[in-house]
Each structure stands twice: as C-alpha cells, then as structure tokens.
Structure 1
Amino acid sequence: MLPALPLSISPNADTAIPAVKPAKPWLAFIFGTVFTGWGLFYAGRPRAAVSLVAGLWACLVIGGQLRIFGSMSGLSVIFGLVVLAKCISAISGAWLARRRVWRPSLRNHLFYLAGMSCTLWLLLHAAAWPYVLGFTATRIIGDGMAPTLMTGDAVSCVARSQYDLGDVVMYEHPARDLIKRIAGRGGDTVELVSGDLMLNGHNLGPFYASTQAQPYSQTFEPTPLGADQVFMLGDNRDNSRDSRFDGPVMADRIKCKVSEILYSAHQNRIGRHVD
C-alpha cells in the first residue's frame, strides 16, 4: 500500500479578492463636513461612522439629562460638540480614504443619508428637545410678564421635579401655554393689598410687579390654595391674564421653569438669566 502523499492547493487567480479602488480624500472631507460620519462611511469605515454619530448623541442625551444645555453657554456646548464631530468625520475620513477596504454602493449611501436626516430632524425639531436635550425653547407672546419678558423674546424652559416661590414657569392653559410667576403654593393664602402681595399674612411687597400699576390691579381678596394648587401672577399686573381671573392652577399642569433669554430684539437682553 502506497503512503499517502500530502495535498497541496495551488492558488487560483479566480478566487482572489479584487482590489478596492481608493477613495478621493477631498471628497471624503466634504462628505464629512456636510453630514457627521459621512466622510468615514465614504472611506469604507461604516462602523467608525456609526460609532462617531452614536458617541455624539450619547454626549447630547447625557448632557440633556444633567440639565446643562438650557442656556447660551449650553447651546455653545452643543455647537462645539457638533463641530468637533464634523471635524473628526472630515479629517479622519480624508486620511483613511486612500486605504479604503470596502466601497459603499449608492444604495448604502442613500440608507446612511436617510438615517442621518432622521437624527438631524430630531436635533432641529423643538418638540424633541425636552426628551433629547433636556429643555425646550418658546417665544413670548404678549406683555403679561413685562418688563421681565417682552413680546418676541425666545426663552429656554427646563423641566424640574419641583418649583419654588417666585419661579417663572410655563404651564398648560385651555387657550395656550402661559408663562407667569409662582406667587403661592399648596396650603398658602394669597392676597393683594395696595399692590403688595400678602402671603399667609406676610407682606412680600410688590413681588416683581411694577410700582406704577393701575388701581384696579392692586387689590385681590384672600384666596386659600388647595394642597395641589399654585397661584400665578404676571409681573405686568395691568395686562396679565393670571390666577386673579382664571383661579389657581393645578401643580401638575406646570411644564417647565423659564431659565434664560436666548434671543431678543434688544441685544442687551440676550443671555439674561430669568429670576
């Protein structure tokens, strides 16, 4: 019986993996600048592209949960994170373009762009901000809170677990959401005497109101509040629809606390903290 001979397999040119055409670095740089991660995706690094986008969103969501974005400085942090992610996408994509090991098809590009469009929509759509970034932005309509807040001001509003006396808050109203100041909480008795706020018999003075208010807005009879109620007052007592007319508000209707003016027609008001 003849001994078994070792088998040898000769290389077959038909089974060789074809070389992938290198990408254009300048095109990868442009793609990475337009959409975060697109430069890396074009360079044949889809996992790196997805990881970069996921890392950006993780930073945004964590920052939102920590309530660090509801101010001008917080918006600067968001802008910085987005710019940093785009720089990483563009520069690393351009550097890796000539070492491309996988060439995405047109369909791959379209799927990636569709996904990025959805994430961009979330970032730009104000209705998603409370869940993603931890705050919402709204525009002031009316002069009920003047001079603290003026018509046309854009303000940030941050949800909190509890709200204190004097906080400017946004709450649900049958007509539309209103922004007023908390002048009394559950169990308090609220009264206006000669323009001064009397809270449980203690005189708190004008309580942010203009001292030039008209006589008809200076007096309000004693009103006891239920355990789950709050009393709202506008700083512009002469022109404010608040709890003097609508009655106390249920505490669970408060949506968020106004924290800062993000935009105003008066430049010196931008970035002002709302007290």
Structure 2
Amino acid sequence: MSFLADTETKKKNEWLEWGKAIIIAIVIAFLLRTFIFATSIVQGESMDPTLENGERVIFNKLVYLLDEPERGDIVIIQRPTKNYVKRVIGLPGETIEIVNGELFINGEKYIQTFLTEEAKLQTNNFGPVTVPDEQYFVMGDNRAISKDSRNGLGLIQESEIIGKSEVIIYPLSEWERTQ
C-alpha cells in the first residue's frame, strides 16, 4: 500500500512542479511583453525598403528608459490614434535642412546610407528647422510618401518614442536586425 501512496504522491508532486513551471513561464512572458519587448506591425510603405508593409518587428521598450534615441534608430512612436515606425534623423538642438535631396545637419551634409538614390531624389526641399529640447525629427525611408516630421507628424516628443525596432520576425524569410 505504501508503494502506491508513494507513486501517487510523486505524480502529484510532478504535476505541481509542472504547474509552477508553467505559471512562472507565463508570468515571465507577461513581464517581458509588458516592460521590455513588444511587437508592432508595419503599416504602409513609408519605411520601404528597410521595412515593408505587413512585416512584424520586435521592439525594445527598455532601451530608451536607460538611454536616448540616436540618429539612425528606427523607433516606434505612440500617438493616440496609431503607432508609427520612423527613423530618427534630427536630435534635440540640431538644425535640419534638405536641399535637392541631400540632408544637412547643422549645415553639414549627412550621408544617408540607408536610402536609395531614388529615395534621395524624391525628397523635397525642407527647412531649415531647429529641433527643440526633448524633441526629435523623424522621417520614413520612403521619403516621397512618408508622413513624418516634415508633414503630418511634426516634431516628436521624447515621451512619444516608446521603443526601438530590433528584429523583423515575420515573415520568417525576412528575419533580421533592423539596424
């Protein structure tokens, strides 16, 4: 009789251990999703060719609690009606100007390695505009159609930037870092 009781006790303990492990995994996943990583779906073509419509990216929510956005970062911007995915171009205190498709930051030409020549040529003249403290100037990589700091979105408050895009996770054929 004690052999059966020991076996039943072992089975109950095993189920309890599995139950604890599952609950801990769910709690950890919830904490990671809530405070550190989340996913976002790219809507539209404003970030082509870097990010395409329908791609799902993982973004890091923690990075900007510890640091500030840097030029070139692809960020998630939270607005009341929609989240946007854009690239940081101008930092607080900088003067941004676009002349004949060329980007100038504080009067110096900035080489945009992430843009195609066609995208540069489709970029209309803009500025100069000086970025105030705690704000950022952002643009999409598909400059001809992007709703960004030049038109529609305006300058972005630091508090509106909720994360940095890290990895494309869907479709699987596009699995790669976004930087």
* TM-score over 0.5 (shorter chain): yes
Supply the AA of the counterpart residue of 1:257.
K
Q: Does the CA contact (< 8 Å) of 1:140 and 1:152 recur in 2?
A: yes
Q: In structure 2, what is the equivalent of residue 238 of structure 1? A: 144
Instruction: Give yes or no for the alignment of 1:250 onto 2:157.
Output: yes
User: Structure 2 matches for 1:171-210, cutoff 5 A?
Assistant: 171-206=77-112, 208-210=114-116
Off by >4 Å, runs of 4+ in structure 1: none
Flag the structure with higher helix content.
1
How far off its partner does 1:139 sit? Answer: 1.2
> Structure 1 regions of 5+ residues with no counterpart?
1-16, 24-40, 58-118
CA distance in 2, matches of 1:206, 1:47: 56
* 1:43 matched to 2:11: yes
1:11-51 CA-to-partner distances (Å, cap 9, x unmatched) read xxxxxx9x73845xxxxxxxxxxxxxxxxx98121654455
Q: Following the alignment from structure 2 to structure 1, what is the Cα–Cα distance between the partners of residues 135 and 143?
A: 20
Query: Quick check: 1:151 aligned with 2:57?
Result: no
Q: Supply the distance in 2 between the matched residues of 1:174 and 1:223 (Cα, whole angstroms).
A: 25
Give the partner amino acid of 1:211.
E
> What letter is aligned with 2:144?
D
Q: 1:191 to 1:153 in 2, by over 3 A?
A: same
Could you tell me how far apart the structure 2 residues matched to 1:263 and 1:47 are? 36
Report the alpha carbon displacement of residue 174 of structure 1 after superposing the two structures with TM.
3.8
Shift of 1:216: 6.3
Normalised by the length of structure 1, the TM-score is 0.55
Specify the code of the residue in structure 2 equivalent to 1:193: V
Q: Going by fraction, where is strand more abundant, 1 or 2?
A: 2
Percentage of identical aligned residues? 24
Question: Do the aligned partners of residues 259 and 214 (structure 1) sit closer, same or farther apart at CA in structure 2, a change above 3 Å counting?
Answer: closer
Residues in 2 aligned to 1:47 and 1:264: alpha-carbon distance in whole angstroms? 38
Q: Are 1:166 and 2:68 matched, yes or no?
A: no
Hey, what's the Cα distance between the residues in 2 that align with 1:192 and 1:174?
29
Cα distance in structure 1, aligned partners of 2:127 and 2:6: 82
Aligned length: 173
Deviation at 1:202, TM superposition (A): 1.0
Higher relative contact order by CA 8 Å / sep ≥ 6: 1 or 2? 2
Partner letter of residue 263 of structure 1?
Y
Specify the alignment match of 1:224 in structure 2. 130
Higher alpha-carbon deviation: 159-168 or 200-209:
200-209
Q: State the secondary structure of the residue aligned to 1:44.
A: helix
**SS of equivalent residue, structure 1 residue 43:** helix
Which runs of no fewer than 5 residues in structure 2 stay unpaired? none
- 1:260 pairs with one of 164, 167, 179: 167
The two structures have a TM-score, normalised by structure 2, of 0.82
Instruction: Please tell me whether Structure 1 or Structure 2 has the larger radius of gyration of its CA atoms.
Output: 1
